[in-house]
Amino acid sequence: MSMFVDQAKIRIEAGNGGDGAVSFHREKYVAAGGPDGGDGGKGGDIVFVADDHFSSLISFRYQRKYVAENGQPGAAKRCTGKSAPDLVIKVPRGTVIREQETGRVIADISGDEPVVICKGGRGGKGNQHFASSTRQVPRFAKPGFDGEKMNVILELKLLADVGLVGFPNVGKSTLISVVSAAKPKIANYHFTTLEPVLGVVKLDDERSFVMADIPGLIEGAADGAGLGHAFLRHVERCRLIVHVLDVSGCEARDPIEDFETINRELANFSEDLSKCPQIVAANKSDLADEEQIARLREYITGKGLPFYVISAATVQGTKALIDEIAKTLETLPPVKRFEPEEIPEEMRKPANDRSFTIEIDEDGVFQVDAPWMEPIMRTVNPDDWSSLQYFERVLRSSGIIDKLEQMGAKEGDTVSIGGVEFDYVD
C-alpha cells in the first residue's frame, strides 16, 4: 500500500535569457554594413497547474529538480533568438507552494488557472542597439538575464468539505464506503488507513459534497508523534468535522475519553481546527446497549453538539447523518484558500542587487565576488575599446572601483572577477 505523500521539497529554476549577438552586416556592394546582432530569446517560466489525475505528491520524491530551458542567443541579420518553452509542473489540486527559506505561501494551486512561480530571464540586447553617432562599430552586446530560481516546499492539503476524525478502527472507512462511491480498503487493525480516502457523497443531481476519511490520529499527533502531523494537515481545509466514536466500547476504549483526546490533538495543531463545527456520530450502535448510548448522548449534547446514533456496517442512521451534514454545509463558508504572502521586507532582495565582496589572497590578487557580474563578463570583448569602456562604467557605477581604491589597489595590481584576471589601471 502506498504511503500518502503530502509534502515534498524541490528546486525550481526558470530558464536564463539568451545573450545578445555581436554581428555586422555583410553584403555585396554595401561598403560598411552596420551592426545587426539580434537580441537573445526569453528563458522558460516554471508554471504549476492543478491536475485531478494526481492524488499525492509521490512523484516529487523521485525528481527533486526542475529546470526550464534557456532562451536561444541572438543571431546575425537582427534575428532574435527563440524563446524557450515554459516548464509546466502538474500537481494535485489543493497543493500549497511555500518558499523553503521563509515558509511564506507563494501560491495555492486549487483553481484551474496555471500559476507562474519562477519567471524566465529576458534576452540580452544585440549590438544593433548600441550604435550611436560616436560609436559606429559596437563590438559588444548585453548578456541575457538570469531566470528566477528557488527552493520550494509543496504541501498537499485535501479539498474536502467534511473530514471524518476518530481513532483507528472506529468505522470511518466503513461509513465513507456506505455513503459514497469510495471503496477504501477496510481491515480490522489499527492504522488501517495510511491514505486519506476521499468519497463524493451525492445528495441529488445538483448537490454533492466531498468527504475525507482523515487517517487515524494518535495521542501526540500534534507534536509530530507517529504519522500525526502529516494527517492533521489534511483536516485543515475541511469546513465541517464529523467526529466518529465507537459507542460499543468493544475495544475496551471509552468513547468520551477518545472524544476529548482527539479534540485536544486538533486544538494543539490549529486554533482554526478547534473552532471548526463538529457533528458527532456514535458508530457501532448495533453492538452497544442502551445505557452506553444514553451516557454518550448526554455528554455530547451537554456540549451543545449534534449527536447521531449510527451503525455504518448495517447502514442504520446513516441517511439522517448525511442529511444533517448537507444542511450544515449550506450554512458554512466555502473551502479555505491560502492567499499568497508578501516577502518580508528584510528578506527582500532588490531586483537589481549589485552586492559584492572583495578579498586579497596570498598572492596579492584582489578577488572580487560579484555573481551578477558573471553574465556581463561573458560579453566583454577585451580587444574592443568601447566594450572595455562599458565594462569600466559598470565597475564604477556599482562601487567596485571605489572599494578597490579604499583597499589600496595600485596601478598594475591584479584584479580577478569571476575567474577573469586583469590589471588594475588608475
Q: How many residues does the chain have?
A: 426
Do 38 and 20 meet the contact criterion of CB atoms below 8 Å apart?
A: yes
Q: From CA 277, how far away is CA 259, in angstroms rounded?
A: 14
Is 363 inside any structural domain?
Answer: yes
Nearest-5° angle of CA 189, CA 194, CA 197?
A: 105
Is 410 inside any structural domain?
Answer: yes
Q: From CA 243, how far away is CA 114, in angstroms rounded?
A: 36
Q: Are residues 129 and 26 located together in one domain of the fold?
A: yes
Q: Is 135 in a helix, a strand, or coil?
A: coil
Is 345 inside any structural domain?
Answer: no
Q: Is 159 in a helix, a strand, or coil?
A: coil
Do 230 and 6 meet the contact criterion of CB atoms below 8 Å apart?
A: yes
204, three cell numbers: 441529488
Q: Are residues 151 and 176 located together in one domain of the fold?
A: no
Last residue of a domain, which of 127, 156, 185? 156
82-91, 216-225, 328-337: least confidently modelled range: 216-225
Do 189 and 39 meet the contact criterion of CB atoms below 8 Å apart?
A: no
Is 346 inside any structural domain?
Answer: no
Q: Are residues 151 and 174 located together in one domain of the fold?
A: no
Is 348 inside any structural domain?
Answer: no
Is 261 inside any structural domain?
Answer: yes
Last residue of a domain, which of 99, 123, 156? 156
Q: What is the mean pLDDT of residues 390-399?
A: 84
- Say yes or no to pLDDT of 4 above 60: no
CATH number at residue 213: 3.40.50.300
Nearest-5° angle of CA 150, CA 151, CA 152?
A: 110
Do 122 and 145 meet the contact criterion of CB atoms below 8 Å apart?
A: yes
Q: Report pLDDT digits (tens) over 207-266.
A: 777 787 766 454 444 444 444 455 555 566 678 999 998 888 777 788 898 899 888 878
Report how many domains make up the chain. Answer: 3
CATH number at residue 20: 2.70.210.12
**Containing domain of residue 213, as a range?**
162-330
Q: Are residues 3 and 122 located together in one domain of the fold?
A: yes
CATH number at residue 388: 3.30.300.350
Do 44 and 82 meet the contact criterion of CB atoms below 8 Å apart?
A: no
Q: For 316, which DSSP code? A: B
pLDDT at 143: 86
Last residue of a domain, which of 330, 364, 396? 330
Q: Are residues 266 and 366 located together in one domain of the fold?
A: no
Q: Are residues 320 and 386 located together in one domain of the fold?
A: no
Q: Are residues 131 and 202 located together in one domain of the fold?
A: no
Q: How far apart are the first and last CA of the chain?
A: 71
Q: Report pLDDT digits (tens) over 250-275.
A: 777 888 988 998 888 788 777 777 78
pLDDT at 178: 79
φ/ψ region of 149 (left if φ > 0, alpha if ψ in -120 to 50, else beta) reads beta
Q: Are residues 236 and 372 located together in one domain of the fold?
A: no
Q: Are residues 211 and 151 located together in one domain of the fold?
A: no
Is 337 inside any structural domain?
Answer: no
Q: Are residues 47 and 68 located together in one domain of the fold?
A: yes
Q: Are residues 258 and 193 located together in one domain of the fold?
A: yes
381, three cell numbers: 570583448
Is 239 inside any structural domain?
Answer: yes
Confirm whether pTM is higher than 0.85: no
User: CA separation (Å) from 333 to 239, 244, 417?
Assistant: 7, 23, 58
- Residue-by-residue DSSP string for 199-245: EEEE-SSS-EEEEEEPPPP-TTGGGT-TTHHHHHHHHTT-SEEEEEE
Do 415 and 422 meet the contact criterion of CB atoms below 8 Å apart?
A: yes
Q: Are residues 243 and 128 located together in one domain of the fold?
A: no
Q: From CA 142, how far away is CA 147, in angstroms rounded?
A: 15
Name the average pLDDT for the chain.
79
- Say yes or no to pLDDT of 13 above 90: yes
Do 120 and 44 meet the contact criterion of CB atoms below 8 Å apart?
A: yes
